[in-house]
Amino acid sequence: MLATVSSAILTGVEGRPISVEVHVSTGIPSFTVVGLPDASCREARDRVRAAILSSGLKWPQHRVTVNLAPTGVRKGGAGLDLPIAVALLAADGQLPLESLGGMGFLGELGLDGSVRRVPGTLALVDAIPARCVVVPASGAAEAALVRRHVVRPTPGLRHLAAILRGEDGWPPIMAADQPTPDRPRPDLIDVRGQPLGRLAVEVAAAGGHHLLLVGPPGAGKTMLAERLGGLLPPLDTDEALEVTRIHSAAGIHLPQGTLIRRPPYRAPHHTASLVSLIGGGGVYMRPGELSCAHNGVLFLDELAEFPSDVLDTLRQPLEEGRVLVCRARASVVFPARVLLVAAMNPCPCGSERGPGSCRCRDATRYRYSARVSGPFLDRFDLRVMVDRPEVSELLPPGGEWATPESTATVGARVAAARLVAGGRGVRDNAAIPGSRLDELAPLQAGARLLLETRLRQGRLSARGLHRVRRVARTLADLEGSTGPVGADHVYGALALRAEVFQPEEAAG
């Protein structure tokens, strides 16, 4: 007898519908899986057999063939365990065939017959063409986010068999829709001093400008970067769904039953491999850290310690907001629109407190700064030097300090500025194309004169000019001035564009 159920496999962050066909016929008892299963999928045989026996069901003493269609696509993962088991039981006559009509299944089987959640549930359920989808109980809330299917949770194979035979009813979905309380995020109120760093973080959040922080160890670079995520406005439903789908596919822990509403913050260590940052690898093509930070913040600490080829591969995705990863068997598009924040030391010894104060040789310093290529450095609209706070800033001299602004206060300004920027028809100010700068960020006479002077002095390049104008636009938005950009804003933008690295000027 033949039974067919629908399921899905994961490629990148997209699901792909798979039809699981099981045929049971007379012959020497055997169990064969065909249709390009990979090792994890072929192992299903042993899990399915154990689960069926543990659940008090019968293992058919017949010739069993499992086909995974379409057969040309490589299949991986344990998510097909449950559909194979169900189709097998139906084909063997232990379940009524008609109970499978319009049903899709998804889940990994334990040897005791329990059903486990698989990574990428959201994308997988989205891809299943059936009207009703049966998923592990722990993944039901996530599956329900798709809102196109009737989602049926199942705790185990024994229970599921009873339900399909009509002996029992479906259990309700656990009401997990109450958002888990967010872990408290670091607040800007803890940052003492650092006026320039605080401003840079605010501008980066408001305009979507990539930010490079340069400073000695202990200056507070990481502290500032961690607080940037909190300044970004919460994700809207579409963005949240996209982010949740990526995180689910990457197997990152999701908040219980809710969408990811907070912009993600990812900080990969500098030993990260190229594939782990960009995405790819294996049959699934797992999304990389770049995509995991989609719609949020990607923080690269110790930027100069990243291999330079890894950094340079980030250039094009940063420009396009997506990355197309191609392999011989598949090519996958990963979303990759991130706010990039990077931190690095000014020199290898990291003790610089002014020119002439560190003991690194010039050649050493030059080599260190050259690890970050010019084109990559060019992606940063904001480059800020952060220095160690003076003792007097850490300990109040007499009374108390004035309390610094909190994330909530600054976040409100950021949200207002983003609203203004959104009204211009661009995603954020960093995305204003050069050709529309005159229209969207016109200059007042004073600002124009200032920029002309800088250009003539050779202290600003043509590319730098565009970046300064975009940042100046964001500064104006933050102040709530919607007219042309003034000289003040341009000065502010110039203050946030430190000449971080310059080889020692040749004296000759």
Partner 1 sequence: MSEPVEDSPGAAFAAALAGLPGMGPATLVAILRQWPPEEAWARVCEGSLRRPDARGRRAESEQFAWSDDGHPRQPKPAWRDAAGRLDPPQWWAYHAARGIRVTWPGQPSYPRALAMDHQLPGVLFWRGSLAWLDSPCVALVGTRRASPDGRAVAFEMGRDLAGAGVCVVSGLALGIDAAAHLGALRAGEQTGAAGPVGVAASGVDVVYPRQHARLWGQVVAAGAVLSENLPGRPAQAWRFPSRNRVIAGLVKMVVVVESHSTGGSLITAEAAIARGIDVRVVPGPVHSPASVGSNQLLYDGPGPVRNAQDVLDGLGLFLSAAKDRGAPATSRTENLGAEARTVLDAVGWRPTSLNQIVERPGLTAARAMALLDDLEARGLVGRHHDWWVRRRPS
Smallest gap, in angstroms, from Cβ of residue 225 to partner 1? Answer: 16
Q: Would you say the C-alpha torsion 446, 447, 451, 457 has a positive or negative sign?
A: positive
Query: Cα separation of 334 and 291, whole Å?
Result: 6
Spatial separation of the C-alpha atoms in residues 231 and 3, rounded to whole Å: 53
Nearer to partner 1, 270 or 388 (CB): 388
Q: For residue 303, count other CB atoms closer than 10 A to its CB.
A: 23
CB of 213 to partner 1, least distance (A): 11
Which residue, 182 or 499, has its beta carbon nearer to partner 1? 499
| Least distance (Å) between residue 273 CB and partner 1 | 33
The binding site for partner 1 (CB under 8 A) comprises 193-197, 199, 353-359, 362, 385-387, 390, 393, 450, 475, 487-489, 491-492, 494-496, 498-500, 502, 504, 506-508
Smallest gap from Cβ 235 to partner 1, in A, equals 30
| Nearest distance from C-beta of residue 480 to partner 1, angstroms | 15
Q: State the minimum distance, in angstroms, from the CB of residue 295 to partner 1.
A: 28
Q: Please report how close the Cβ of residue 495 comes to partner 1 at its closest, in angstroms.
A: 4
Cβ distance to partner 1 smaller for residue 98 or 505: 505
Measured between alpha carbons, how far is 8 from 275 in angstroms, rounded to an integer?
Answer: 24
**Closest separation in Å from C-beta 402 to partner 1:** 8
Between 252 and 487, name the residue whose CB sits nearer to partner 1. Answer: 487
For partner 1, give the closer residue by CB, 337 or 497. 497
How many Å apart are CA 199 and CA 497, to the nearest integer?
A: 12
**b/e 455-487 (16+ beta carbons within 10 angstroms → b):** eeeeebeeebbbbbbbbbbbbbbbeeeeeebbb
Separation of alpha carbons 417 and 22, rounded Å: 58
Choose between 305 and 488: whose C-beta lies nearer to partner 1.
488
User: Residue 169 and residue 173: Cα distance in Å, rounded?
Assistant: 12
Query: Is 15 or 346 the residue whose CB approaches partner 1 more closely?
Result: 346
The minimum distance between CB 443 and partner 1, in angstroms, equals 15
SS (H, E, C) 179-234: CCCCCCCCCHHHCCCCHHHHHHHHHHHHHCCCEEEECCCCCCHHHHHHHHHHHCCC
Which of the 8 DSSP states describes residue 383? E
Name the minimum Å distance from CB 419 to partner 1. 22
Nearer to partner 1, 203 or 430 (CB): 203
Q: How many CB atoms lie within 10 A of CB 304?
A: 22
Distances (CA, A) of 91 to 5, 22, 78: 11, 7, 21
Name the residue nearer to partner 1 (CB basis): 38 or 479. Answer: 479
Cβ(221)–Cβ(386) under 8 Å? yes
374, with CB counted inside 10 A (0-12, 13-18, 19+), is: exposed
Query: In this structure, are residues 474 and 320 in contact, taking their beta carbons and an 8 Å threshold?
Result: no
Supply the DSSP string of 7-34, one letter for each residue. Answer: EEEEETTEEEEEEEEEEEESSS-EEEEE
| Minimum distance from residue 141 beta carbon to partner 1 (Å) | 46
Strand partners for 114: 156
CB of 428 to partner 1, least distance (A): 20
* Angle ∠(321,326,329) on CA atoms, nearest 5: 145
Nearer to partner 1, 171 or 484 (CB): 484
With the C-alpha atoms ordered 357, 362, 365, 366, is the resulting torsion angle positive or negative? positive
Tell me which residue of 280, 282, 284, 240 sits closest to 264, measured CA to CA.
Answer: 240
**Cβ nearer to partner 1, comparing 46 with 504:** 504
* CA dist 127 → 13, 148, 149 (Å): 11, 10, 11
Q: Which is nearer to partner 1, 420 or 478 (CB)?
A: 478
Bond prior to 348 in cis (omega within 30° of 0): no
